[in-house]
Chains A and B, each alone.
Chain A
Amino acid sequence: MSESTSPLPHPIESIMKGSRYQAGPFWIARVLSLIATIALLYGFHQFIAPKLGIYDVRLIVLSLLFATLAVSLNLINGITGQFSVGHAAFYLIGAITAGKLSTTFYTPNPGNYNPQVWLVLMIFAGGAAAAIAGLLVGLPSLRLRGDYLAVATLGFGEIVNVFLRNQDGKSQAITLTAVVALIAISIVLYLYILLLKRLPVYKGFKGFAFGMLKLIVALAAMRLAAWGVFAALGPSLDKFGRLDTGGAIGLVGVPKLTQIYFIILLFIGTIAISRNLLKSAHGLSFLAVREDELAADATGVSTTNVKVTAFAIGAAIAGMAGALFAHYNGSVSPDDFKMDVSFMLVAMVVIGGTGSITGAALAGIGLKLLEEGLRKLPQIPAVDLFSLVIAAIVLFAAYRFVSQRGWLKIDGGLKVPLTVLGALACLGVGWLGYLTTKADLSWVLRIGILAVLAGTLIGLLFTKARPAALPRFGLFAACLYVVTLLKVPISSGMHSISGIENLIGKTMYNPSDLRWAVFSIALVFVMILRSQGLLGHHEFSWSFVKSFLGKRELAPA
């Protein structure tokens, strides 16, 4: 092959245009991005960090961690197409491993261990432990597809959680001998499976009897192996005692070594790795496994390797994030890493657009900030809440009734007044933005809200969908107003019914309790309205923005 800079015959040249490797631009780009990263971190340190309060930092830390987790999960779910719903387990494993190592071995004497070096070591430890777990999960994934894999990964996540809950150094916790015994049993099992392949298969009753015999022999062999380990190694290993990771309450006293720069670096690194993968030919083989495993196999892609690798890398990154979290939070409690965290991560990946790196990252940041932001809303009396809900249902039913009969002509006669309403509503959005800048909220949240509002305005006013979008937005705003109007009579009605007044009259709801309910309903809505997620397979790139603004047709998918 001639060196890459010589011209190729047309039309190959035209196809390859823009994607050829050229040493000059390549190195310039890499050095520039390295400089940019350092400049970013430095700028952050100089100009932004001093202005941040503890709560602001916590928001940034959590949202970046979750964005990192979402991008790492995207590697498994979105890019390789494997349904993994137990990602929180890898996060937990990384956190517990790093945390336990630190609480056991780290002493804060200056000069003994350099905290940064120790932290980096812990990050790798957490990542490695999680990667091993990822391999363990990846291997069964070879035999499972779709829903079955989802449930298996969910099950794995739960096993990890339940297991760690019981590690409190007391009678139910595991001992080193037990671990060795488990390994011995696995080896026996593995040998059994190998042996199984060489044994003949019988049919009918003979087959059933033989199968029972095989099962009994297998169980006996495993029992024997376990007994052997306990007898031979028990006395010497038992003095290590039982594993204690704090049990259900969790690990405490982890040294708080993490600085925000580590987290930012991990976030950038994860995105870089994902993007590099997608731009390389390797990445294509991952995508091929997602698209059609059978065809990928036939085309020489080792689907086994791809799947296991995806799990290992995705898990490793989650483990590293976990290690950072442990050393930020100072404690690791299994309660914070349950099924709902896994579900939320999957939701982030799906809402952002399965397969889209930037989508996952944005959704991760957005959803986490949303969750925290909802905590800040003032309390709502229960009666008001219920009357709002009832009003909304009534309005929705009325809307369906009217639109099914074709009385509501959004693009017809009502277009002009609705468009005017839409324009007024946009002013309202601007006013909301103004309010946000004045609000007593964390700086981080304010920026997030402003970004969303600005995006809405741009989407409404500057895209080619404007003629259709404005009247619909106007209708939406009108409906909101009607709901608030309807609420008044309904709520006073409810107050007057003594039974209801007695029951919930004095109840106040804290919005942070509401957030899960709101979040889950929003999730369902998004799935119904746009099941491929916000960005689909695309990345949030300049061409995406341009297509959004109607200036260029996006290459499909």
Chain B
Amino acid sequence: MDWGQLPQYLVLGVQLGAVYALIALGYTMVYGVLRLINFAHGDVFMIGAYLAYYTSMVWFDRHAINPYLMLGMMLLMAMIGCAVLGVVIERLAYRPLRSAPRISVLITAVGVSLFIEYAGRLVVQTSPQPSIVQEVNVLAKPMNIWGINVEQSQIAVLAVVLVLMGLLFFYVTRTSMGRAMRAVSHDFNTASLMGVNVDRVVVVTFIIGSALAGAGGMLQATSFGSPLNTFYGLLPGVKAFVAAVLGGIGNIPGAVVGGLIMGVAETAVVWAGYAGYKDAVAFVILIVILLFRPGGLFGSTAEKV
């Protein structure tokens, strides 16, 4: 427990938490609208990371391109690709099961998740495990703010996340589709009786959620540069789900706060010297929150009966 290192770890935690928040938003929005835990969402995040990698490989080799432009392209490709994937998943796997018993939908979501992971593994070839090259991340320059060593890229990640969340917030509160989304998450059947095209709302929800997850994948892979494999999204996905529950599932600001808390908690555990247990933190938080406040921090304390 090196107290001098604490600010560094905090910044790391916030950065990690920001990525978790992006994924958590997708979970929370889909659950709000369909009451479905989209287990495949973490894999969408993974695909985003891969899309970013492939974009960087394609362009990096062939053009001496403005690196900032390239980062932007990677982000864009990740978001668009994942949005498409999300729509496909919804259309093929979830829509036929709108009226099926809950456990069947859960199993299907798990099946989709497993399929993306294992089929993806066949497509991308497991070794050597690709990694986004450091040179791509031109922002990996250290800076010193208020005595804390941060990288430019960390600031950039936070900035991107803030912008995306701002856009989302604007969309959900100011546009008519946003209003429709809120109505559907309140009461699916009544909204459809009131003339809301619920199918379209669901598709839009998946588009936005998946795009955000894709962005998260790109940001995570680029700034942490960890080796990619198709199970890259499994653990972050589950942790992001816990974040969504922590904030109150169905609650958008809650997902953001939940994500930040999760990220900071995880890095705090590492800082305290228990790096081996960092994955368990998420689940301990999950169980504690489900026991004491199942509605989440921003949800109601009433139990879901």
Interface positions of A (Cβ within 8 A of B): 77, 83, 85, 140, 143-148, 150-152, 154-156, 158-159, 162-163, 165-166, 172, 294, 339-340, 343, 346-347, 350, 354, 382, 385, 507, 509, 513-514, 516-517, 519-521, 523-524, 527-528, 531-532
Contacts and interface: CB of A to CB of B under 8 A. Distances in A.
Contacts of B119: 517, 521
Contacts of B121: 513
A86 to B, nearest CB: 10
Contact of A527 (B111, B282, B284): B111
B247 to A, nearest CB: 14
Contact of B107 (A144, A339, A346): A346
Contact of B283 (A150, A155, A350, A507): A155
Interface in B212-244: 234, 238, 241-242
B59 interface: no
Contact of B238 (A158, A172, A343, A385): A158
Contact of B286 (A145, A155, A346, A516): A155
B148 interface: no
A524 B287 contact: no
24 contacts: A85-B106, A143-B291, A147-B35, A147-B106, A150-B37, A152-B286, A155-B282, A158-B238, A158-B279, A158-B280, A158-B283, A159-B287, A162-B276, A163-B280, A166-B277, A172-B274, A172-B275, A172-B276, A517-B114, A517-B119, A517-B122, A520-B118, A523-B111, A527-B100
Task: Report whether over half of chain B's contact residues are helix, strand or loop; otherwise say mixed.
Answer: helix
A146 B102 contact: yes
Contacts of A145: 303-305
Given A155-B286, A158-B280, A524-B112, A531 B118 contact: no
Contacts of B238: 154-155, 158
Interface in B143-200: none
Contacts of B115: 517, 520-521, 524
B103 A516 contact: no
Given A151-B241, A152-B286, A516 B118 contact: yes
B245 to A, nearest CB: 7
Contacts of B8: none
Interface in B55-92: none
A514 B114 CA distance: 12
B162 to A, nearest CB: 27
A435 B65 CA distance: 59
Interface in B254-284: 274-277, 279-280, 282-284
A516 B117 CA distance: 9
SS class, residues of chain A in contact with chain B? helix
B104 A350 contact: yes
Contact of B287 (A150, A155, A347): A155
Interface string B93-113: 100110011111111101111
The residue among A150, A294, A516, A528 with the most chain B CB atoms within 10 A of its own CB is A528
Of B93, B121, B238, B290, most buried by chain A (CB within 10 Å of CB) is B290
A120 to B, nearest CB: 33
Contacts of A385: 122
Specify which of A156, A159, A172, A354 lies most central, judged by the most chain B CB atoms within 10 Å of its CB: A159
Contacts of A523: 107-108, 110-111, 114
Contacts of B122: 382, 385, 509, 513-514, 517
A524 B101 CA distance: 14
Contacts of B105: 527
B181 to A, nearest CB: 20
Contacts of B245: 148, 151
Interface residues of B, number: 48
The 3 closest A-B pairs by CB, nearest first: A155-B283, A520-B114, A523-B111
B279 A527 contact: no
B102 A527 contact: no
Contacts of B96: 528
A343 B290 CA distance: 21
Given A339-B234, A528-B96, 17 more contacts: A77-B103, A83-B103, A83-B106, A143-B291, A148-B245, A151-B290, A152-B286, A152-B287, A158-B238, A158-B283, A162-B279, A346-B107, A517-B115, A519-B114, A520-B114, A524-B111, A527-B108
A85 B119 CA distance: 23
Interface string B120-136: 01100100000000000
Nearest to B114: A520
B114 A144 contact: no
Contacts of B32: none
Most interface-central of B102, B114, B275 (chain A CB within 10 A)? B114
A389 to B, nearest CB: 9
Contacts of A519: 114
B29 to A, nearest CB: 15
B48 interface: no
Given A517-B115, A521-B115, A531 B97 contact: yes
B248 interface: no
B114 A166 contact: no
Nearest to B280: A162
Given A150-B106, A152-B287, A172 B277 contact: yes
